[in-house]
Amino acid sequence: MVVRRLSQSLIVAFLAVAFVALAGVTGGSVAKAQGRFHDHNQNQHQRRERETLRRHQQRERRLNGNSRELRHHQQHEREDLRRHQRFESRRRRY
């Protein structure tokens, strides 16, 4: 009788621990998946900004020619975008 009660209580304790562990793993996975989803949105946003700048600069080269001044101007635009994206990524970390 004592052995049976002991085994029943051990089974209940084991199942409770297993449930908590499973819930913890599942919750962590969901949190990680949400984090990746958020990072994907951020990456997609930055990719769109870079693509927009690339198209803008191609159009400028088509309309104005490929002069030294234009290349210098476009390099400044690329640096500004990099600075802006670094600022955005730092701001989102906190």
Give me the residue spans of the domains in the chain: 2-93
Dihedral sign from CA coordinates of 55, 57, 59, 61: negative
- 26-42: per-residue pLDDT in tens? 555 554 555 555 667 77
Residue 90 has pLDDT above 90, yes or no: no
pTM greater than 0.75 (yes/no): no
- 49-71: per-residue pLDDT in tens? 999 999 999 999 999 999 999 99
Residue 75 to residue 80: CA distance in whole angstroms: 9
Report whether 74 contacts 57 (CB < 8 A). yes
